[in-house]
Structure 1
Amino acid sequence: MKRESSLKRATTETDVSLALNIDGSGIARISTGVGFFDHMLTLFTKHGKFDLNIEASGDKADNHHAIEDIGILLGKAFYEALGDKAGINRYAFQFTPMDEALCRTCVDISGRGYLVFDVPLTREFIGDFETELLEEFFVAFTANSKMTLHIASLYGTNNHHIVEGIFKSLGRTLKTACAIEAGNTEIPSTKGIIE
């Protein structure tokens, strides 16, 4: 079974195309128009061993609409590609250092979109990326992937390192949570379904 999804979202504000292969090899082709965000999604892809193609353009007001819509599509792509979720680990967590910073991500592929976001940042921008959009991206991602996600910056002083640690950590966490246990075909819920 191929765990893949290809989606498109076109609105009056954005035009986004996305293709995801959960069982890829870490190949990223990312073009969002926001250089720092491209870098973060490339790290996420590499550390998750996913294949991810994103082509996005947004309005000129700011980066909010494009980044939110990418979060929506990436969440939907994971939800679609995971299918009935039979045999997956479901839960995973990862502590990831990035120089002086330490980040933690915890995932439950639960069928319930929920975000806990504890990431105090001290800069308005990192490169061309508005730091307040980090939480907006993850709100859109969790709502549409129907995953519970806890993200915490445990400590660190360099905002770039903190955000980079989060994306690397999330890639590795999702790789583990999405992995199928050999020979297991059960859906990991006492309900018998994860919707």
Structure 2
Amino acid sequence: MLSLNRDTKETKISAQILLYGTGKCEISTGIGFFNHMLEAFAKHSLIDLKLDCRGDLEVDFHHSVEDVGIVIGLLLKEALYPLSGVERFANSVVAMDEAAVSCVIDLGNRAFLVYENFNESGKVGEFDVELVEEFFRAVCFNANITLHLKKERGKNAHHVIEATFKAFAVALRRALTQNSRIATPSTKGVL
């Protein structure tokens, strides 16, 4: 299990991650909806995640959500590279009632985010919908992964966001599928 502590003037985060776990988690961010999304991520990725974030929630949720994304991204980067013996590429589409979100992932040690067709705004509970993109950007650019997220359909912001976190989780789990026939999954010979 890998651990990381990150302290700034805005947040204090401690986290542990086990890449090949069972999906168990202990999440505390002070943001109920975000806790729920991170629990869904752990469950469907089969990554064990223990995370405690104490942030300046009296300002807003931005610093906490982005900094949690940074910490998860850094832990993923440490756990992933050098990448060997896994599929590397994967995709998923997750439906939640009327919503469907697709995710395509490349664990190629290059950071990029495509976040397409999401037009929800406002809040889910007290959670600002715009923070979903901030979270995934922080994960991608700190984990060095390429992630394409696309809303295929959906009107209910809760459903769209939850489908997004679950699609990411499923695609990541699939990309991490071990394959003994693959050494380094790159023609360059290194990732």
One-letter code aligned to 1:81:
A
Q: Structure 1 residues 119, 35: CA separation in 2 closer, same or farther (over 3 Å shift)?
A: farther
Which of 91, 102, 115 matches 2:89?
Answer: 91
Alpha-carbon distance between aligned partners in 2 of 1:128 and 1:89, rounded to the nearest angstrom: 38
Inter-partner Cα distance in structure 2 for 1:119 and 1:40? 20
SS at match of 1:62: coil
Pairing of 1:18-33 with structure 2 (within 5 A)? 18-33=15-30
> Which amino acid counterpart does residue 30 of structure 1 have in structure 2?
I
**Count of matched residue pairs:** 190
Which of 12, 16, 34 pairs up with 1:15? 12
Q: For residue 73 of structure 1, what is the aligned residue in structure 2?
A: 71
Counterpart check, 1:171 vs 2:150: no
What amino acid does structure 2 have at the position aligned with 1:46? K
Rounded Cα–Cα distance in structure 2 between residues aligned with 1:23 and 1:100: 31
Q: Once the two structures are superposed, what CA deviation does each residue of 1:33-54 show, in whole Å capped at 9, x if it has no partner?
A: 1100000010011011110011
TM-score, normalised to structure 1, is 0.94
Q: Which residue of 1 aligns with 2:157?
A: 159
Question: Do the aligned partners of 2:87 and 2:177 also contact (CA within 8 Å) in 1?
Answer: yes
- SS of alignment partner, residue 157 of structure 1: coil
The two structures have a TM-score, normalised by structure 2, of: 0.96
- Show the 5 A alignment for 1:104-119: 104-119=102-117
In structure 1, give the amino acid aligned to 2:107: I
Cross-structure match for 1:184: 181
Give the Å deviation of 1:119. 4.2
2:2 to 5, 10, 17: 5
For residues 83 and 139 of structure 1, the distance between their equivalents in structure 2, rounded to whole angstroms, comes to 19
Structure 2 equivalent of residue 44 of structure 1: 41
- Native 8 Å contact 1:68 1:136 kept in 2: yes
Moved more, 59-68 or 117-126: 117-126
Percent of aligned pairs sharing the same letter: 39
Q: SS of the counterpart of 2:184?
A: coil
Name 2:190's counterpart in structure 1.
193
Letter in 2 for 1:130: D
Structure 1 residues not aligned, in runs of 5+: none
For residue 150 of structure 1, what is the aligned residue in structure 2? 148
